[in-house]
Each structure stands twice: as C-alpha cells, then as structure tokens.
C-alpha cells in the first residue's frame, strides 16, 4: 500500500525555497491540448498522500492487534467457564454461559462496526485528497494551455501528450506538505478498557 520512491531534483530545489513556482515550461512539459495525470502516483508519492495511507494502515494494524488480543482473552474466559461447569449448579452455569454468549455477540458487532468505519475512512481518503489538490491541477491545466486533463490510466495511446504528474507531486509537496487530517476522521481503535473481538 505504501510506495517509497525518491523525489526528483525539483523537489529538493523546492525544499530549499525556490523564489517563484517552477512552471510547466521550465520542467520541459510539452504544450498540448491534452495533459495526463497519474492519480495513483499523486496519492503514493506526495507527503500528504503518504501520510494519509500511513495513518490508515496504522489504524488497521491496531484494530487487528486489539481483535487478536481480545479473541485470546475470550478463549481463556470460555475455558475457565467450562471448568466451572462441574462445580456449580446447572441453572447458575446456564446464566453464566448465556451472559458470556451475549458478551461475545456484542463484541462481534462492535468489531464489525469499527471495521466498517475504518473502511469508510479508507474510501474517503482519496476523495479528500483529490479535492484538496484540485486548485493545483487546475493551475497546471492553465499553464500547459490544455483544454482537458485525463487520468493516465484511461489513455490507451498517446503522442505529444504532456504528463504533468512529476510537477503536480512537487507542487503538492511544496504547498500542502503533509496536509490536514482526514475529514471526519476518528481513531476507530477501541480503548484498551473496552476491547472488541473479531467476527471470524
């Protein structure tokens, strides 16, 4: 999910503070009625995109670890309950078993809810990313005097078409950096005092 690629010399120049933004012409971008952009590269090679992906992956890892821990705790609790069966009245054991089953079911529902929330955050990340960088892409469209910008993945054949992905990455890093937090984001990892369990 995370792709580590070296930034170009342009990114280094920007990091030291270029007095004016470098234009598409200075980058040697071909003037064209049609320019292409690689959204996947923008998401994986910019500081902002990398930060969003890193945060989502960390949240996923925490949720998996929490679920694994709680699953082990429930197994131990179930074993302890089974061992009590021969030492307590049947009615009392049935009440304890029913309470345990309800606990497991609630934890399973909580885990499913948190997994859905994490999936929603994952789906929202590229949408928020593209909304935030749209002004930069519009600026590049004007600089190249193009009339349309296409997703490079939708172009089968191209000739004399300007790919402005490198310049877009450099500008996004310069102006947005690591960017704002994901809109509506909240850590779906449960509090240690309120464990959950996987539904598997």
Average pLDDT estimate for 10-27? 43
Output b/e per residue, 87-106; b: 16+ Cβ within 10 A.
eeeeeebeeeeeeeeeebee
| pLDDT value, residue 65 | 96
Asked if the structure places residue 188 within a domain, the reply is: no
Average pLDDT estimate for 163-185? 86
pLDDT digits (tens, 9 = 90+) for 38-66: 999 999 999 999 999 999 999 999 999 99
* Domains in the chain, number: 1
| pLDDT value, residue 160 | 62
| pLDDT value, residue 122 | 94
Asked if the structure places residue 126 within a domain, the reply is: yes
Asked if the structure places residue 37 within a domain, the reply is: yes
Asked if the structure places residue 151 within a domain, the reply is: yes
Burial class (CB in 10 A: 0-12, 13-18, 19+), 20: exposed
Asked if the structure places residue 4 within a domain, the reply is: no
Query: Which residues, in sequence order, are CB contacts of 114 under 8 Å at separation 6+?
Result: 63, 188, 189, 190, 196
Asked if the structure places residue 55 within a domain, the reply is: yes
| pLDDT value, residue 149 | 93
Q: Residue 47: which domain range? A: 31-131+141-175
| pLDDT surpasses 70 at 15 | no
The reply to whether the predicted model has a pTM over 0.95 is: no
DSSP letter, residue 153:
G
| CA separation for the pair 7, 152 (Å, rounded) | 20
Asked if the structure places residue 155 within a domain, the reply is: yes
| pLDDT surpasses 60 at 68 | yes
Q: Which residues pair with 163 in a beta bridge?
A: 36
Average pLDDT estimate for 57-83? 95
Asked if the structure places residue 192 within a domain, the reply is: no
pLDDT digits (tens, 9 = 90+) for 87-139: 889 999 999 999 999 999 999 999 999 999 999 999 999 999 999 999 999 99
């Amino acid at each position: 999910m995370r792709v580590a690629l070296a930034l170009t010399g342009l990114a280094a120049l920007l990091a030291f503070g270029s007095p004016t933004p470098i234009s598409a012409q200075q980058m040697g971008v071909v003037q064209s009625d049609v320019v292409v952009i690689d959204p996947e590269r923008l998401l994986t090679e910019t500081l902002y995109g990398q930060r969003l992906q890193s945060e989502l992956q960390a949240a996923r890892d925490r949720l998996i670890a929490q679920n694994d821990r709680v699953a082990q705790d429930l197994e131990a609790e179930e074993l302890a309950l089974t061992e009590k069966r021969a030492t307590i009245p049947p009615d009392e054991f049935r009440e304890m078993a029913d309470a345990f089953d309800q606990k497991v079911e609630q934890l399973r529902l909580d885990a499913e809810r948190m997994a859905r929330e994490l999936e929603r955050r994952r789906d929202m990340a590229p949408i928020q990313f593209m909304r935030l960088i749209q002004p930069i892409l519009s600026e590049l469209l004007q600089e190249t005097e193009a009339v349309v910008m296409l997703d490079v993945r939708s172009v089968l054949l191209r000739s004399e078409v300007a790919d402005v992905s490198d310049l877009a990455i450099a500008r996004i890093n310069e102006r947005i950096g690591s960017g704002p937090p994901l809109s509506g984001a909240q850590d779906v990892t449960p509090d240690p005092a309120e464990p959950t369990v996987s539904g598997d």
